[in-house]
Amino acid sequence: MLVASRSSTTLPGGRIRDKWFIWLIIGRLRRRKKIRGRPTDARPPPPAHCGEVDVASANQPGRPLDAPGSWEPDGRASSRGPKGEFPVTVRIIRGILAANAAALAIGAVAAPARTVDLASASVSGLLDAQASGRLSCAGIAQAALSRIHQLDPQLKAFITVNPRLAEEAAALDDRRRAGGSLPLQCIPVALKDNIEVAGMPTTGGSVLLRDYYPARDSTAASRLRAAGALIVGKTNLDELAVAGSTISSILGQTLNPYDRTRYAAGSSGGSAVAVSTGMAVCALGTETVNSLRNAASSAGVVAVRTSHGAVSRAGVMPQSSTMDVVGPLCKSVADTVRILDVIAGRDTRDPETTAYEGMAPSISSANARAAPLAGKTFGVMRTLFGKDPEHAPVNDVMASAIARIKQAGATIVEIDDAEFDSDVTTRKLNVSNYEFRPLFEAYLATLPASIHLATVREYYDAGRYPKVTMEKFLHNAVTWKAPLDMPAYKAALAYRAYMHDKIMGMMSDLRLDAMIYPSQKRPPVALDDKPRAERNGVFASALGFPAIDLPAGFTAPTPQAPQGLPVGLDMLGKPGMDQQLLELALGVEGALKGRQAPRIIQAHIGHAAE
């Protein structure tokens, strides 16, 4: 049902503040009228197009919400949660937008509408605007919903939008008026849909998990809520986070906001797109091999992979105990530090955080200052640059970025070691293939009995997953009898120890503050190409090193991408030196100035009312 408005939806004289809100409410009322006559346990009829994701039609940019070929989870308009409420996908997003819109019509008579563009807003800027009374949390939430309404049907970033967004925004406004101050007061944050949030389904992108409603928050979500963050919703991902193109059976293909004929990379592509376009100010993703940094590079935002154990993974759908991390995606390094300040730290639900606490200082936004680049030394890993014509666009951007770092006073050391080959090393170091089945089945065992899924074999046999990205991975998972006892797994762990020591020795011998290289050797690739753009993230992910992706610049414009395509620069630091790497990244970010918001947002600026 509609949430009651706290005040009028019109300005003095009766002028409507946001006409589309009214149409959304009308649409919601019509939908309620249709549903009213059904039995309480009846489901809405399926849409015209049902069944598995039609990748060809799902990839078509700009498809209307109700157009033939748009896709509902499992061919249904909804599936009810534990209290009979409807989880919200992009296909039925208008209903929840309407309900939230009515509740967010706060104070329109008292003050004129103000404007905030969340694609350019910073955490500190939003905190200051609220403290001074220039913005309310309700207004910020309204801006996020407005942007989602405008852009998400074209880009498919969100699986679920928070149905209690208006209520939570109002509570945060009440707290602020009562004198409460929180470090992330009403900062809109989106969470990848393998991170549990109470009150919203956690699907992992799978139609088989569409009815799973966690009873409690993940540690990361709990800490965000406690700090005052506004959880906007759950974002699309590669199903179960096992690939790099952000396609799922529950939603389909997320598209790149700079060129909708290209991949958003992944598997944290939904989170990256949400931040890039201002549907959220920051987001959380996860990374096993490349997911955070690959997605950030393709969307022109910042992403941080911390040292192993810096951030709790409790309440996160697992893939690899050795390689999984949770990390932030934001538009700036400063904002990622603020998020990490909140979510990092010891957690009894994840023993790895205790080990990290014993080896490293805590991550602090209060003490973070941009490190001067003068006197710093960076190793450029030349074997991680491509050598073919299709690699030239990224190489050109990287050459310019390295030149700017050098001009800022840093020393550049060229490293050309054939053993640093990302393709070969990924095959030799990626232990997630072996660790997935035992971990995922242990996770499934914790789910309610109403979720009729207990094994990877059942998941595989159901066949309800994107074949192009998951078939080989799942086939191996179900055919390997004892993956943790396989010689190949033990060899990968041994090679991991060898490469860890080699990089640590090299950084020490050359006195390197960080290693730098392109996050991926090619720009975001076209939808008719192989989805993985020769990614370079494996050294940090497999070895437990911290790394950060920074926007380095753009390739040359084309008719399909009039801004060009974003290119990300990866910086790898020493384990446990996360704070130092972040401060170094603040300095490099200032030298690069490589971010531009995608032009797709220029036709729509979200409105925030006091």
Helices assigned H by DSSP within 132-241? 137-155, 165-177, 219-226
Element (H, E) at 548: strand 547-554
Give the orientation angle of helix 137-155 with respect to helix 19-36, to 10 degrees: 70
Q: Whole-angstrom Cα distance, residue 465 to residue 472? A: 12
What are the structure tokens assigned to 422, written together?
């990302």
* Residue 562: other Cβ atoms inside 10 A: 10
Q: Whole-angstrom Cα distance, residue 470 to residue 460? A: 10
What are the structure tokens assigned to 99, written together?
């309900």
Output DSSP code: residue 87: P
120-to-126, 142, 279, 319, 562 alpha-carbon distances in Å: 11, 16, 11, 33, 20
Q: Whole-angstrom Cα distance, residue 241 to residue 325? A: 12
What are the structure tokens assigned to 457, written together?
């074999």
> Looking at 78, 146, 156, 192, which residue is catalytic?
192
What are the DSSP calls for 173-201, one per residue? HHHHHTT---TTTT-EEEEETTB--TTS-
Are the C-beta atoms of residues 97 and 89 closer than 8 Å to each other?
Answer: no
Nearest to 61 by CA among 157, 154, 159, 156: 154
Note if 521 is an active site residue.
Answer: no
Element (H, E) at 270: helix 269-276
Q: Residue 123 is which amino acid?
A: V
Helices assigned H by DSSP within 112-267? 123-131, 137-155, 165-177, 219-226
What are the φ and ψ backbone dihedral angles of 228, each rounded to 5 degrees? Answer: 95, 5
Are the C-beta atoms of residues 310 and 353 closer than 8 Å to each other?
Answer: yes
Longest dimension (CA), the chain: 76
Note if 291 is an active site residue.
Answer: yes
> Looking at 70, 206, 218, 267, which residue is catalytic?
267
Vertex 9 angle, CA 6 and 11, to 5°: 120
Helices assigned H by DSSP within 306-447? 333-343, 352-359, 392-407, 422-429, 432-444
Q: Residue 44 is which amino acid?
A: P
What are the DSSP calls for 253-319, one per residue? E-EETTEEEEE--SSSHHHHHHHHTTS-SEEEEEESSSHHHHHHHHHT-EEEEPPTTSB--TTB--S
Count the alpha carbons within 13 Å of 304 in the hemisphere toward its beta carbon. Answer: 35
> Looking at 136, 249, 271, 291, which residue is catalytic?
291
Q: Whole-angstrom Cα distance, residue 216 to residue 315? A: 8
Note if 122 is an active site residue.
Answer: no
Residue 145, judged by CB atoms within 10 A of its CB (0-12, 13-18, 19+), counts as buried
Q: Residue 609 is which amino acid?
A: A
Q: Whole-angstrom Cα distance, residue 574 to residue 294? A: 20
3-class secondary structure per residue, 6-20: CCCCECHHHCECCHH
- Point out the residues that are catalytic: 192, 267, 291
